[in-house]
A = this chain, B = another copy of it.
Amino acid sequence: MGRIVYLNGEYLPEDQASVSIFDRGFLMADGVYEVTSVLDGKLLDFDGHAVRLERSLSELDMTMPLDKDTLLEIHRELVRINDVTDGGVYLQITRGAPGDRDFVFPDPEQTPQTVVLFTQSKPGIANSPQALTGLKVISIDDVRWGRRDIKTVQLLYPSMGKMMAKAAGCDDAWLVEDGAVTEGTSNNAYIVKGGKIITRDLSNDILHGITRSAVLRFAREAQMDVEERAFTIAEAQDADEAFITSASMFVMPVVEVDGVAVGTGKPGSVAARLREIYLDESRKSAI
């Protein structure tokens, strides 16, 4: 039996959920998204995702089609109907489907936004075996557009990056621009050197990760040293450890960068500790 998904006010079997070919999400990538993780049937960092969603929409001259409480209710209802214990809820909002294709934005009074949500069940994500072995990453040029702080569906290059990593026998790719790492294809990137956690500072160059924000807060609360600045691939290869954060991977160690082992070549203690703290704290505040 397939999932039940949410589309524009209706709960539908997934194979009946479709959008017009004139939807601006389909024709022009004119849409934004969020993925909220689920552990033990509860939502992690829902508020953070809702705030970022509203910001993404606002940067594109769109408004929230539903208030936060209604969005929360839909998330919970989908988790309930689809019996999701661990996994995530994907949410996408586009500028809707005007009657024709035009670069000019449609009048929002005439063209309601498209709102889609669906669940992805991933049993045991908190105990992923990858957390014990770590990821191997390659570096690739960051050729994405300049507003990576807006979480748009323009994901073609991240998708290509995952394929390049796969072709190289690796798990993911780190994106490099002007000699420094921006972030991973769908996650923020970190290194640890001499006990210091180093990750790129926030700007339009990277996504303002909800998990990033929580992990850095927990790290500082635990008296760990955090430096927000750009770093190079050479620095990563020379680091004591490396890791990534994302809503669906939490904190995940990186053990190899461009074929060079990072530190001992095994997951490091800082990443392990941050993963544990993040999972503990997120479970406590999950709703």
Contact = CB atoms under 8 A, between A and B. Distances in A.
B100 A120 contact: yes
Nearest to A143: B146
Contact of A156 (B7, B30, B101): B30
A277 B104 CA distance: 30
Taking each of A15, A28, A105, which has the highest tally of chain B beta carbons within 10 Å of its own beta carbon?
A: A28
Nearest to A6: B21
A123 to B, nearest CB: 15
B21 A162 contact: no
A92 interface: yes
A25 B19 CA distance: 11
A141 interface: yes
Contact of A162 (B100, B104, B118): B104
Interface stretch (A66-74, A147-155, A190-198, A260-268): A147-155
A256 to B, nearest CB: 20
Interface size of A as a range? 35 or more
Contacts of A141: 146
Main secondary structure of the interface of A (DSSP, over half): mixed
18 contacts: A17-B20, A18-B19, A21-B116, A24-B159, A26-B26, A27-B153, A29-B153, A29-B155, A29-B156, A103-B158, A103-B185, A104-B159, A104-B166, A105-B163, A143-B145, A143-B146, A144-B145, A152-B156
Contacts of A60: 156, 160
A61 B29 contact: no
Contact of A155 (B21, B99, B103, B147): B103
Contacts of A90: 101
